[in-house]
Structure 1
Amino acid sequence: MVGPRHARMIIPPTSVHTIERARLVALVEHRPVVVLAGMAGYGKSTLLAGASRRQQVKGAAIWLGLDDSDRSPARLVADLVTAVGLSGVEELASDLEPLRASAPRAEPLILVDSLLEVLYGAELPVTLVLDDVQELIGAKGSIELIDHILKWAPANMRVAVAARVAPPLRLQRLRLDDRLTYLRHEQLAFTPEETSEAMHTAGLHLDAETVESIHSATGGWPAGVRMAILATRQYGEHRQVPTQLRRDQALAEYLATEVLASLSDDLREFVLDATLDEQVCPSLVDSVRGTRNAEAMLERCVADGLFLSRRAGDAEEAWYHWHPLFAAHIHRRVVADYPERATLLHAAAADWWSAVDAPTAIRHAVAAGDGERASRIFANRWLELLLQGRTDAMLQALEQVPEGSAYAGDAHLARTLVLVQDGNTDDAQAQMHGATDAAALLPPEARPEFEDRMAVVELFRTGYGLGLRAAATPGAALLERFHQAEHRPDPAVLASVQMFVGMGRTRLHAEPELTLSMLRSSAATAHDTGLLALELSALAEWCIPAIAHGRLREIRDVAVDVLARADERGWVGLATLAPAVAFLGFLDYWQGNLEEARAQLDRSLTMMLPFDSDLRVLILDYLTQVCLELGDLATARRYITEIQPLVDSDRSARWWHSMLAALEGLVLLAEGHTREAVALATQPMTEPEYPMARAHRAKVLAHAGRPVEALAELDLMPRGRLVQVDCLARCVEAEARAQLGRPDAHASLEQALAAAGPDELFGPFLGGGKRLANLLKAHLDHGTAHATAVTQVLGRIASGHRRGPVGEQLTEREHAILRYLATNLTNEEIAKAEYISLYTVKTHLAHIYQKLGVGNRRAAIRRAAELDLY
């Protein structure tokens, strides 16, 4: 009969719902030593019990679950001898008897050597499992005995060690000799497939979405999945299980008894405080605890497998992620057992988060019972959230703000803008009346800033209702009011108005120097106050009027950098970044990279502000030209149809009519309707002139065989305003002069090449047709200062591609960085490997993304694989 003492020397029985985890079985049985380190419930004992039972079929399995008594080396050795005897190997019985007799008097190390000698003599394979080794932490003598066993174990013996924390064993030599498999909780966690199998084995046949939600809620923690199975049976409503698990009392008791109770006092106190949020960083934890050792303690939790993992990334400060169920239940225990402590923690967290993430700060302020603090945070940050495109987050924060607050007026302002975005003008007006009434409740010192925010909302309503151009004049008046006011306006308000006015002036084509200065000022104000989304939005908008300055590659670098920095924050689809994406599409068109241009322009259309009709017309204009060059006449005609109502609307700029007429002529010519195209191109221009309109009209006339009229049209065209338009005009001029047999065609072509060279604006040459290609060949013989450019253009024409392979466009350094993307290295680790700065890595990545036509790392990996760039 097996007594209570011997129960921990028997292999645990298999649960009826245990699943076979083939991927881990192979790892456990691959090397002579395996160490499993993970907190309670990760299936360590279950996994090793299965391996032991398999070992019994062909040899012997020795099981010893350690407890506090084994901290004595003598008791540990005695238990080992007993466990070997209980393994059922008859041929060892006679050799073990002398060891049992001498155990009370023998030196533990000598007795271990004697035990190993007995096992050496066995002719069958042996597995020794030492479970719960965390019981020996701090027991130096017992740890040394296990190290001795690992070092001198016979060749026929496999040793498996399981512990809830990283065991303090000497494992480095085993690693170097490739004799060790070390599995942490990340590997021990269920995969999505294993979670699904566990559900199925338990008789639960759930849909894939429900299983995925349960796997996400539990993080693959096997004990959590088991609790989910029980909760599913208890509550019946499958889709509510993730929520119920956060409240499940059985799971709470399990964590309290199996996890918290096993921790040292200092670590337990740390965990109770540090699980206030699922995502934490050292400065946050130190702030709420009033300490300076959070980083060391967090790393200790990671090393001990205490339901905490370090997040990969390039942030200056490391961020950590608690298992969501663990954090939820531990914090519920704090609230229940130490309510005053929980209130202080939430209040401190609200202060820390207020400068980082307003919704989280508001949540903590509400949890602390401080509604006024929550309202104040919302008032200070809601506009920034809206500018970040985080409307949902703003609305969630708004739901937490208590009614009747002195800052309730900002709730009305926030709702106003949301309603305006949705086109609900009547309800928006009602909310503005509510904001006006609420302003009377504010303390006098708070009213000026609130009135500033009201003015911004009114400005946005004007832009949403009448278009950005209509907001330029009232926006400028508002800036003048800010300048004359006694109080300094809130930076978010000031930068927002500056950006909005700059956007309006850009759509008016008014004073580009002043417009650029205003957008730069907006970006600088936002940068100085940490308003990154606003800074990036102002810089993205700056890319459009900056086109008038030329130096398009420099503008491209700004656009690429803006989008790369936005991607790091997950703001890829932010509406106010659409101008940067559109600019990259414009540049690709002028450089002759048509497929890339089409992708960028299509993407910008999906992002942009719904009321920005001017930018929409401009993007559709370029998309029409791209489709014409690609020969996709049906889509080009469709875009013309989309442009027409925008141009005919009351909000339309008058110059768009000349643009549309010129586009229509190009499409008609491509469709073979030459007479109609010429008739349209020779109609008098009665509206203000769009910069490219005359160049397009001249192109229609030149390609229709009417070079004299084409040249006459170009003579009326102002030069020097836009380098890309000048390049196009000179190309058309060269074609027309060549048709007339004029020798100055080469002078026009040389001027076109000079305009194109700095930014490689080869699109007009590639789209010029066979006649221009022949002229370029003759130009080489004629003599040119731009022979390299001519050769590149002719090479691309000869290859039948509008651009060379993507791989050829990547620099050698970009190729090197691209190869790292398929690894799991962070940007910081790539920088160290290449001996370059982190900023340089990010710049290279931005250029790679732009050249591949993608927006993030994962898409770049896929695209590079498709192009065989690895």
Structure 2
Amino acid sequence: MAETYENAQGPTVPAVPCADPQGDPFLRTRFALPARPATFLRRQRLVDHLDQFRGTPLTLVNGAAGAGKTLLAADWAAGLPPPVAWLTVEVGDRRPGVFWAYVLQALRACGAPASDAVGVPADATGVDQRLLATLAAELNDRDRPVILVLDEYDRVTDLEVTDQLEFVLHHAGRGLHLVLVTRTEPLLPLHRYRAAGELTEIRAAELAFTPEETVALLELHGLSLPVSAARALVDRTRGWAAGLRLSALAALESADPELYLKEFEADRSTVADFLLAEVLKGQPEETQGLLLRVSVLERFCPDLANALTLRTDAEPILAGLHRDNAFVEHLGHAWYQLHPLFGEILRAHLRERLPGLEPELHRRAARWLRRSGFLPETLAHGAAAGDWDFAAGALVDDLAIGQLFTGLRSGDLTEFFSPMGPEARSAAADLVRAARDLSRYDLDRGLTRLRHAEEHLADDAPEPAAAQLSCALLEALAARLTGCPPQAEKAAERADELRQEVPAHLLDKHPELTALLLTHLGSARLWAGRFEDARAALTAAAGAPGGASTVLPREDSTEHLALLDYLNGWLGRAERKALAAVPEVERVGLPQPSGSGIGQLVLAAVAVDRHELGRAQALLDETARLPSGTRDPVMAAGRALATARLLSVRGKARAAVEAAAPAVAAAMASPWAAGYEALFAAAAHLAEGRPAEAAEMLQGVSGDQPTCAVEAAAIQVAAGRAGAAIDLLDSIRTGGRAGPAVTVRAALVRAQAAEGAGDTAAARRLVAHALLDARRERLRRPFLDAGAWIRPLLATPPLHELAAGWLTRGLPRHGEQPRPESSLSPPLVAVELSGRERDVLERLARMMSTEEVAADLYVSVNTVKTHLKSVYRKLAVNRRGDAVRRARDLRLL
């Protein structure tokens, strides 16, 4: 029994023991609240969470070393009313007698001593059950509960101590609130406390500093950091308190603290010393070896870790490290990752302790990842091992070479393979080099490397189907870029054969390959003037599955389809298709313009036909810097056509002739591109007073190209060759597929011929028909180009009414000289906007953001975006500035 002494007021109380059961004196520092440094940041959100302890008997603060657990608990405990008992657990407390002796002493130190009936442990290795029961009963009888904080509780590893603590906690009832501050999961039955709602928990994620808290912490250290920079620091440290504090202290010694915090080398800092001492060196040798080896990985699972360590025990080790908050983070589904700073330090330590092992670890990882189907990580580790043939082979064997052209990963893959040197000599390496060159429109080098790859593959037996199919894709692209449709057809046929030999799961995994092949084939057919065959391939590509992986070839195909519609005279359809791909491309985050740029050229050509010349010029300027414009024949021809049209309208006929020739060399001439070249040359001859030469230039234009034919017929009739013009129109065979741009021009040519023959009634009927067709498409250019003969007709009441509003404001009256282009009023178009769409449009004109518009109109941001899409569609634009300009032109603002 403990000695007693006479209290001044009479009753006797137990004497305070001065030593534990081993005879060692109690260390008073273990009962004192740890001092908070001047740079300590009180985080009210955590304090408020801890205050929930009043409703639960057990509180758990669980986090890694240096997470700020102890200072948080000490700061919170300092503000509580007594009695609050604090005990910092040490290794010796693993013995039950020592542990309970210190717990009883902590209660005495806080003014809540146990009675003489409880007694003291006499044996360091055990505790009398009666002592525990009496202590629990006395605590249960208290009017004011005792708060007992056990710091560093992870040092208690004896299951007997844990069972005894749970017994006392359970039977003490509301007389005891237990707070455990620990790095590891305590052995208490936490699941029961959680299920009963009797547990307050603060874990690593909540202990992490937020960017705003980081800014406040650094200010306490005398450092000023913007929230954006603090956010980057938090990402790197995961908001780890010790890492932030140690980094701040080191930054104070730097000439540029902000730069230091952004770029400090973790392995050469006090952070490294902390983590090596507190985390790594306390682990068994086999665990240290595992941590060092997995440090080369971004993420890992037990099987992958075993592949690197050549052991079989990674699973329990990793689970234990995560459970112990040893800077191993669980990602779910048995996958883990290292804390970023810990990973940096371990990699540096690996190079120091096991020099030369790192490439081999990357090699082992690459082979395991390739077998398991993780291509991006396979490539990363193959490259890190310097095994470029392996990395290229993995890309080709996975049928993933098309990703170099899809926009989503193409930039990353191009940069990834850029260090690959001549030591990589496999067919796969040459295929990757060829794809990289062709993606940059470097045809000479790309074709040379493609031939090398094909030679290598010819020597392989049997020829790998995935590599052959990759070759077919690159052949189709090369054929498209060199203007060689037969070669594209041959590549497509070969691809169809090879698809039967490639595993179906690879084709399903990479729909972008088929989409790209169809796009290249469709483009080559369009160049050849085989419009319906081109439409079939391009429509299939535009409807390809695959989501984000096929968005770029789908956009490219849709833009080609827009060009087909334009060449067939369907301006409205062409415009809608050119705009259709933009929303999805923006959604997946591709830059604008992201594809070939053909869509922008189609919009520019449509704008010329509608006499919106400023818009046409702006659209052309947007495509001027696209690399595809210098090597893709269809793109080059589209740009040549749109530019020549704009120059011709502006009265620069000779400049239009120079611009009309596509600025690329092609293996085969394109009939429609050649037809437009002839048209602009003939128009220039006619403008310069040489009608015979103009007619001569048109000899090669036939009815197979309807849009070229009707414009050629217009030149013929203007040159006084009405008969030849009508014969050319009669030769057109469209099968009902020609659009208003064809039918309107054809009607005007026939009307001019009729007027010249004295049949004014027929001319008036034909012009009326042309006005009706043109009004739907806002097609003004044919009437502006028609010449003086049409003005008297448009002045007659029936035709004047048909032209009123949308056409006649831009036309000179009969007898007037044509006004310069700059003075022509824009067309008046009937655009119906809802009231809410007008509200949104007006706020766009005031340069308000989407969020500001939503707040001003008291609607959601998504509602504003929906209205914006509708406004863009109705105004036939795809940008805010264009919407505002067009609305002003149309007098909607």
Q: TM-score, normalising length from structure 1?
A: 0.61
Q: Distance in 1 between matches of 2:317 and 2:724?
A: 80
Residue in 2 aligned with 1:320?
336
Q: Which has the larger radius of gyration?
A: 2
What secondary structure sits across from 1:107 in the alignment?
A: helix
1:280–1:321 contact (8 Å) kept in structure 2: yes
Residue type of the alignment partner of 1:13:
A
Alignment of 1:288-687 (within 5 A): 288-292=308-312, 294-295=314-315, 297-311=317-331, 319-337=335-353, 345=361, 348-349=364-365, 351-352=367-368, 356=375, 357=377, 360-361=380-381, 365=385, 374=387, 377=390, 387=404, 409-410=422-423, 449=426, 485=459, 494-506=468-480, 508=483, 510-511=485-486, 514=490, 516-518=492-494, 536=512, 539-543=515-519, 545-546=521-522, 548-550=534-536, 555-558=541-544, 561=546, 563-565=547-549, 579=556, 592=576, 596-598=580-582, 606=592, 615-616=596-597, 618-624=598-604, 634-640=614-620, 653=633, 661=641
**1:104-150: per-residue Cα shift (whole Å, max 9, x none)?**
655354034224225x322xx65332222222345144245236516
2:511–2:550 contact (8 Å) kept in structure 1: no
Is 1:65 the counterpart of 2:88 in the alignment?
A: yes
Query: Kindly tell me: are residues 629 and 768 of structure 1, through their superposed partners in 2, closer, same or farther at Cα, counting changes over 3 Å?
Result: closer
Query: Kindly tell me: are residues 205 and 696 of structure 1, through their superposed partners in 2, closer, same or farther at Cα, counting changes over 3 Å?
Result: farther
Q: Distance in 2 between matches of 1:644 and 1:340?
A: 50
Q: Which deviates more from structure 2 when the two are superposed, residues 588-597 or residues 144-153?
A: 588-597
Query: Kindly tell me: are residues 577 and 488 of structure 1, through their superposed partners in 2, closer, same or farther at Cα, counting changes over 3 Å?
Result: farther
Query: Kindly tell me: are residues 351 and 644 of structure 1, through their superposed partners in 2, closer, same or farther at Cα, counting changes over 3 Å?
Result: closer
Q: Distance in 2 between matches of 1:715 and 1:539?
A: 39
Residue in 2 aligned with 1:107?
130
1:536, distance to aligned residue in structure 2 (A) = 2.9
**1:442-463: per-residue Cα shift (whole Å, max 9, x none)?**
xxxx6xx47x966986898689
1:628–1:667 contact (8 Å) kept in structure 2: no
| Unpaired segments ≥5 residues, structure 2 | 1-17, 20-24, 523-532, 566-571, 657-678, 687-693, 716-722, 751-761, 781-797, 803-829, 838-865, 872-893
Residue in 2 aligned with 1:41?
66
Q: Distance in 1 between matches of 2:764 and 2:608?
A: 26
Query: Kindly tell me: are residues 351 and 54 of structure 1, through their superposed partners in 2, closer, same or farther at Cα, counting changes over 3 Å?
Result: same
Q: Which of residues 202, 222, 238 is equivalent to 1:219?
A: 238
**1:567-618: per-residue Cα shift (whole Å, max 9, x none)?**
9xxxx9xxx8973685798899659477654556898775768xxxxx44x2
1:712, distance to aligned residue in structure 2 (A) = 8.6
Is 1:116 the counterpart of 2:116 in the alignment?
A: no
Residue type of the alignment partner of 2:36:
T
What secondary structure sits across from 1:19 in the alignment?
A: coil
1:548, distance to aligned residue in structure 2 (A) = 2.8
What secondary structure sits across from 1:247 in the alignment?
A: helix
Residue type of the alignment partner of 2:103:
L
Residue type of the alignment partner of 1:564:
A
1:49, distance to aligned residue in structure 2 (A) = 0.7
2:33–2:74 contact (8 Å) kept in structure 1: yes
Query: Kindly tell me: are residues 150 and 44 of structure 1, through their superposed partners in 2, closer, same or farther at Cα, counting changes over 3 Å?
Result: farther
Q: Distance in 2 between matches of 1:227 and 1:513?
A: 65
What secondary structure sits across from 1:500 in the alignment?
A: helix
1:165, distance to aligned residue in structure 2 (A) = 1.7
Q: TM-score, normalising length from structure 2?
A: 0.59
Q: Give me the identity figure in percent.
A: 19
| Unpaired segments ≥5 residues, structure 1 | 367-373, 402-407, 412-445, 610-614, 702-707, 750-762, 776-796, 805-847, 854-870
Query: Kindly tell me: are residues 647 and 302 of structure 1, through their superposed partners in 2, closer, same or farther at Cα, counting changes over 3 Å?
Result: closer
Query: Kindly tell me: are residues 323 and 84 of structure 1, through their superposed partners in 2, closer, same or farther at Cα, counting changes over 3 Å?
Result: same
Q: Distance in 2 between matches of 1:258 and 1:74?
A: 28
Residue type of the alignment partner of 2:29:
A
Is 1:163 the counterpart of 2:182 in the alignment?
A: yes
Superposed CA RMSD: 6.0
Residue in 1 aligned with 2:215?
196
Query: Kindly tell me: are residues 646 and 110 of structure 1, through their superposed partners in 2, closer, same or farther at Cα, counting changes over 3 Å?
Result: closer
**1:537-565: per-residue Cα shift (whole Å, max 9, x none)?**
5633523545835497753442x51x524
1:15, distance to aligned residue in structure 2 (A) = 1.5
Q: Distance in 2 between matches of 1:134 and 1:516?
A: 66
Q: Distance in 2 between matches of 1:739 and 1:46?
A: 95
1:263, distance to aligned residue in structure 2 (A) = 4.4
Q: Distance in 2 between matches of 1:627 and 1:528?
A: 45
1:245–1:325 contact (8 Å) kept in structure 2: no
**1:326-357: per-residue Cα shift (whole Å, max 9, x none)?**
12333444554455877864553464467744
Q: Which of residues 257, 271, 290 is equivalent to 2:277?
A: 257
Q: Distance in 2 between matches of 1:222 and 1:173?
A: 31
Residue type of the alignment partner of 2:150:
L
2:466–2:502 contact (8 Å) kept in structure 1: yes
Q: Which deviates more from structure 2 when the two are superposed, residues 19-28 or residues 595-604?
A: 595-604
Residue in 2 aligned with 1:287?
307
What secondary structure sits across from 1:205 in the alignment?
A: coil
Query: Kindly tell me: are residues 693 and 354 of structure 1, through their superposed partners in 2, closer, same or farther at Cα, counting changes over 3 Å?
Result: same
1:10–1:63 contact (8 Å) kept in structure 2: yes
What secondary structure sits across from 1:18 in the alignment?
A: coil
Residue type of the alignment partner of 1:540:
L
1:281–1:318 contact (8 Å) kept in structure 2: yes
**1:648-696: per-residue Cα shift (whole Å, max 9, x none)?**
999684997688557876999999xxxx999979987677799784599
